[in-house]
Structure 1
Amino acid sequence: MTTKTASGCVDGREAEDARGGRSSSSLVLTMLLVVLFMLQGPVRRALSAPVMQSWMTVFVAVVVQALPFLVFGVALSAVIAVFVPSSFFARVLPGRPALAVPVAGMAGAVLPGCECASVPVAGALVRRGVPPAAALAFLLSAPAVNPIVLTATAVAFPGSPRMVLARFVASLLVACAMGWLWQRLGRADWLRPPTRPSLEGHGKGAAFWSSVRHDVMHAGGFLVVGAMAAATLRTVVPAGWLQAAADNPVISLLALAVLAVVLSICSEADAFVAASLSQFSLTARLAFLVVGPMIDLKLFAMQAATFGRTFALRFAPATFILAVAVSALVGAVLL
């Protein structure tokens, strides 16, 4: 007469549960394919509608445009997490957080990426012990003051060289001001420390790829959600509203700021979109260029995923208001 050990029973139940889970998943997938096959006519007609084609175009454009920079950002984040010792940041950044904020803001000029890259890098900085105020200043400045973005702005506005200076000054001012604001008013329980699976006990290579896979899966899903929201809003906003808004200086400033949030264009490409909006003033277009890299739909979703929804719901509106106000001020002085 044979007997089964307790561990054998447990292993058998786990294997049976795993097989049951795979069977259930296969059944759901099969049923979904059958339903899609039966409804292929209505689905094809719905996808061929002009609104859906426009939606798909915007969605794919946002994802394809942002994904390479997201991958670059998580790769750089993994390098920071695995290969850069914590003592490095203690040596580079000033000990006083108030001084670390402008240093981190200026450091954003060396990252050749967009906002999709800056979020995971800022998360890695917080994990490595950088003061949150400094990491947030870097998060906001990096997409707007790096050489690639400033060069693209100069190419897009060949007749307005001061637009490059205005974008640099306004973006850096907002980044530093938000860092100082967080240092003074921010609370520790508002910001959820970014987490990832433990890398201890792994070799450098294995730890690097584990970090990359975690951040790509974590941030990539929210990038898709943000792109879907941007595509939906862009297809339902009437184009005639833009022309009507351009006639009023205050409304035009707010309209382009909101448009930057909705369109969710990466900072490497937004200057060319702003240049095409020639019916608006330079100051209004400056607001478009300052707001977009700091807060848009996909960026809000990624910030919420990295630092928590409580943080994003406070940080994003404050950033938007400050970016609009600083754009108006800098535009009045430099443009």
Structure 2
Amino acid sequence: MAGTTTGTDDGPPHRDTRPRSWLGGRIGSVEILAALLVLIVVLRGPLADLLAMPALATWTTVFVSVMMQAVPFLVFGVLLSALIAVFVPRSFWARALPKHPVLAVPVASAAGVVLPGCECGAVPIAGSLIRRGVTPAAALAFLLAAPAINPIVLTATAVAFPNNPEMVLARAVASLLVAMLMGWLWLRLGRADWIRLPRRPDLDGLPRGEAFWSAVRHDVVHAGGFLVVGAMAAATINVVVPARWLQTLADQPVLSILALAGLAVLLSICSEADAFVAASLSQFSLTARLAFLVVGPMVDLKLVAMQAGIFGRRFAARFAPATFTVAVAVAVVTGMVLL
């Protein structure tokens, strides 16, 4: 019966174990949001007392500041990324790139400028490029460059670092160099059997309008969720970690660079928003924060998981550590020259 069992003509019915709401439908984000709002109303007194505490007030101020600055860039980037992913023919990229793999790598890296989106959109697009016959080295260079050198990200970086405009150039140069070096490294050492050919059935076969909104919803939920986590982590670091500890770490050039590079991997912040988190870590040098900005869009937890899911675990296990090493080295050299 409806709501109790499901089945087909080819086998016996089985019990539907999916969670149900009290209205008889599935429990989803709307129900969860409604429950949270009810809890906030019921507990508004204790919550007001908590927010009056100095530490929590500081935490809230930092969190809201990061979110307010980052969300417009995140939303705009997701919308433009979805437009390109749905309305630009995938075969266009194969025709636009040089046939010779060595030349295709820098061209594909520079093509990242025209993809105003985060790494969440770059991974499936890179998979589509490989399916369309683009050499994997060029597709991977595009995957690394697109989230870091597109106009939305560079504009966000300029807004986040108004007193250090050289950060925009340093980020663009370092990210482009890493993308090209990793593409050429793949040509030298990469193997075709490390990549499992990807598919993206969630958009295949849908009308363009539906595919567009499906891509927008997917990227907003995923990227927005990680942005919230990153903003919470940045606020927590500013409140919980004593300032003298951060200053001690920041005073150690090597440790500060490695610490922020590792933090970028753990926080998994969308590239349209990471500049605002980096700017909030003002105790650290510009070079250390540059390492944060270069590593984050190329190697973080969500990106490694997406790469493993689309290209295969063998690929991710080799590609992510190599990218991290190259990104940190290039960021250090670029910081020494430009910052």
Q: What TM-score results when the alignment is normalised by the length of structure 2?
A: 0.71
1:1-335 equivalence runs, <5 A? 11=9, 13=11, 16-17=13-14, 20-21=15-16, 69=77, 73=81, 76-80=84-88, 84=89, 86=91, 88-197=92-201, 206=207, 209=210, 213=214, 238=241, 241-335=245-339
CA displacement at 1:194 relative to structure 2: 0.9
CA distance in 2, matches of 1:242, 1:322: 25
CA displacement at 1:72 relative to structure 2: 5.2
Deviates more, 1:319-328 or 1:207-216: 207-216
- For the 8 Å contact 1:73–1:121, the answer to whether it is kept is no
CA distance in 2, matches of 1:229, 1:160: 26
CA distance in 1, matches of 2:116, 2:201: 27
CA displacement at 1:103 relative to structure 2: 0.3
CA displacement at 1:104 relative to structure 2: 0.6
Cα distance, 1:138–1:281 mapped onto 2, change above 3 Å: same
CA distance in 2, matches of 1:206, 1:71: 17
Larger Rg: 1
Tell me the equivalent position of 1:3: none
Tell me the amino acid that sits aligned with residue 265 of structure 1: I
Cα distance, 1:123–1:101 mapped onto 2, change above 3 Å: same
Cα distance, 1:79–1:120 mapped onto 2, change above 3 Å: farther
CA displacement at 1:176 relative to structure 2: 0.5
Structure 1 vs Structure 2 CA RMSD: 4.3
Tell me the amino acid that sits aligned with residue 157 of structure 1: F
- For the 8 Å contact 1:69–1:117, the answer to whether it is kept is no
- For the 8 Å contact 2:260–2:292, the answer to whether it is kept is yes
Aligned pair count reads: 307
CA displacement at 1:189 relative to structure 2: 1.9
SS of the equivalent of 1:124 reads: helix
CA displacement at 1:305 relative to structure 2: 2.2
CA distance in 2, matches of 1:228, 1:305: 23
CA distance in 2, matches of 1:198, 1:165: 37
Cα distance, 1:263–1:222 mapped onto 2, change above 3 Å: same
1:235-269 Cα offsets, whole Å, 9 max, x none, are 69845543221011111111111122222222223
1:138-173 Cα offsets, whole Å, 9 max, x none, are 111111111222222223333333222211111100
Deviates more, 1:251-260 or 1:269-278: 269-278
Tell me the amino acid that sits aligned with residue 130 of structure 2: V
Query: Can you give the 5+ residue segments of structure 2 that lack an aligned partner in the other structure?
Result: 1-7
Cα distance, 1:304–1:149 mapped onto 2, change above 3 Å: same
Q: What TM-score results when the alignment is normalised by the length of structure 1?
A: 0.72
Tell me the equivalent position of 1:4: none
Cα distance, 1:279–1:196 mapped onto 2, change above 3 Å: closer
Deviates more, 1:286-295 or 1:305-314: 305-314
Tell me the amino acid that sits aligned with residue 118 of structure 1: A
Tell me the amino acid that sits aligned with residue 9 of structure 2: D
